[in-house]
Amino acid sequence: MIPGSTPIDQRPTDTTPRHRHLLDLSDWSREAMLALFDTTDVMAQVMQRTIKKVPALQGFTVGTLFFEDSTRTRLSFERAARAQSADVISFAAGGTSLSKGESLKDTLRTIDAMQADLYVVRHPASGAPLQISRWTEASVVNAGDGRRAHPTQALLDAYTFRERYTGDAGFEGKRLAIVGDVAHSRVARSNVTAWTTLGAEVVLCGPRTLLPDELGERPGVTLTHRIEEAVEGAHAVMALRLQRERMASGLLPSLPEYRQRYQVTRARMQLAHPDALVMHPGPMNRDVEIEGALADEPRSVIEAQVANGVPVRMAVLYTLLVGSR
């Protein structure tokens, strides 16, 4: 339950072990994820109300530090903070000239002087949120670091699948296929961790140059270069954008060939489980990694993923700042 209000002089004093940061999902148990989904259900009800605001985080300040572009992630974190009455301060680095090391530390020191309780950090360098967590007393949420992790995206993807597909039946025996530029995708890595922890299997699919072998070493994960094999019998199929901004040249044969071999299409979805969902973390390039018409079909939950980003991130902020009750 969200408490009606948490008086400022009664900040969490409970000493039960809980997560202070969300840097990646590797130290989150299945139980912790399911508890977060339960909190998300409550937050989703708040977002259904006429007045979409509760005082749960009144008196807390959330700082968003975006060293890399973002639309939906940043907006939904800010919405999630404000819907719980937290104050928000925002920092956005234009361009990519910010080097790591001293400049990141100096930037953090400046922002930290403004006394935020939690930072939401996106950075092109893998490990930057972890580094920041060592420099501040505040909680840190990773909103995407390099190709390493994007934990809240994976949580909202899994939550959307739970909402639209499994309900309380759980993730066991379910299979997610992730198709596209897996190599450069923090979304793929975090989804592998989330879905396998929850008990599902994950099949990763892409051309040889975009599908690193080491991702297949985790139990519950298989790799394939054939999309038909990945999609066959899958309960959810997630298409990934070609992340050219992170890509060295020469990794793609040609765009037409890529489309022909790896586009998630209505025809290929015939091979999936009859009720399979179509997912995409966005931003989506229609008719490249996904057939445009498929994205608009009822089985596509791409908009639900974006909508669920708000209650999931509300639950993350609440859990880290106040703790699950």
> With respect to ligand NCD, which residue has the nearer C-beta, 147 or 174?
147
Instruction: List the helix and strand counts (H, then E) for the chain.
Output: 11, 9
Give the CA count within 13 Å in the CB-facing half-sphere of 172.
Answer: 3
In the range 126-145, which residues lie near ligand NCD by CB under 6 A? 144
Residue (152 or 196) nearer to ligand NCD, CB: 152
Q: In the set 21, 79, 148, 150, which binds ligand NCD (CB under 6 A)?
A: 150
Between the alpha carbon of residue 2 and those of residues 116, 127, 158, the distances in Å are 21, 32, 22
Q: How many residues interact with ligand NCD (rule CB under 6 A)?
A: 12
- Comparing CB distances to ligand NCD, the nearer of 56 and 314 is 314
Considering only residues 180 to 199 of the shown chain, the ones binding ligand NCD according to CB under 6 A are 186-187
Task: Please identify which residue in the block is written with the tokens 């100096």.
Answer: 106
Q: Which stretch binds ligand NCD (CB under 6 A): 30-38, 188-196, 204-212, 279-287?
A: 279-287
**Residue 302 and residue 236: Cα distance in Å, rounded?**
12
Cα separation of 128 and 142, whole Å? 9
Decide: is 282 part of the binding site for ligand NCD (CB under 6 A): yes
CB of 308 to ligand NCD, least distance (A): 12
Among 324, 266, 243, which residue's Cα sits nearest to residue 1? 324
Q: Which phi and psi angles does 265 have, rounded to 5°? A: -120, 165
Nearer to ligand NCD, 21 or 186 (CB): 186
Q: Which of 162, 174, 189, 241 binds ligand NCD (CB under 6 A)?
A: 241
Instruction: Return the residues of window 163-182 that contact ligand NCD according to CB under 6 A.
Output: none
Residue 322 Cβ vs ligand NCD, minimum distance, rounded to whole Å: 25
Q: What's the CA gap between 206 and 204, in Å, rounded?
A: 7
Question: CA nearest 177: which of 259, 238, 220?
Answer: 238
Which residues contact ligand NCD (rule: CB under 6 A)?
A: 72-73, 144, 150, 153, 186-187, 241, 243, 281-283
